[in-house]
Every structure is written in structure tokens, then in C-alpha cells.
């Protein structure tokens, strides 16, 4: 994966308005297999699923409101990379 510009550990968010709404947990697992990590997180009153795929020096975190509604994607540099 090649990226232009600096990406710090705070990450770069891709919001729903960027046409990511068609991505589901099922599609991710079909395309990329088992995630590197998966957890449940609280965002105010909302409980979300965080699905993480490590790709080279970076981690892609997909944050879902439920299995079919992706809220955003966070790209961060992996610790120690």
C-alpha cells in the first residue's frame, strides 16, 4: 500500500459520506479473510463493532454500527512499524 503524505498514529478517518456504505462485515471477511482483531466499542449510547485488518505498516479499522452499516474507516500506522 502506497500513501502520499504523512499518516500519524491519530489516523485518517473516511466517513460514510465517501460512499463506503456498501461495505459489510461479510464482504470484508469474504475479500480479506479473518480480521487481525475484532472488538466491541462504546460510542456514547451506541455500541459498535471494530474490525481491524493489518496491512503492511498500517492498520485499517472498520467501525460498524451493525453488520451491514459501516460508520467509518480509520487508517493508522501500526505500533512499532
State how far the Cα of 61 lies from the Cα of 13, in Å rounded to an integer: 9
Domains of the chain with CATH codes: 19-77 (3.30.1450.10)
**What confidence category does residue 16 fall into, taking pLDDT thresholds of 50, 70 and 90?**
low
**What confidence category does residue 20 fall into, taking pLDDT thresholds of 50, 70 and 90?**
confident
- Read off the pLDDT of each residue in 11-16 and give the average, rounded to a whole number: 54
Please tell me which residue, 20 or 13, carries the higher pLDDT value.
Answer: 20
| Number of other CB atoms surrounding residue 59 within 10 Å | 20
Q: Which pLDDT value is given to residue 36?
A: 97
pLDDT higher than 50, residue 24:
yes
Amino acid at each position: 500500500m502506497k500513501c502520499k503524505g504523512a499518516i500519524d498514529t491519530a489516523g485518517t478517518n473516511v466517513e460514510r459520506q465517501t460512499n463506503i456504505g456498501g461495505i459489510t462485515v461479510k464482504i470484508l471477511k469474504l475479500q480479506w479473510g479473518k480480521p487481525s482483531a475484532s472488538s466491541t466499542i462504546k460510542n456514547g449510547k451506541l455500541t459498535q463493532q471494530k474490525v481491524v485488518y493489518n496491512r503492511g505498516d498500517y492498520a485499517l479499522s472498520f467501525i460498524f454500527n451493525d453488520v451491514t452499516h459501516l460508520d467509518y474507516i480509520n487508517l493508522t500506522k501500526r505500533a512499532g512499524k
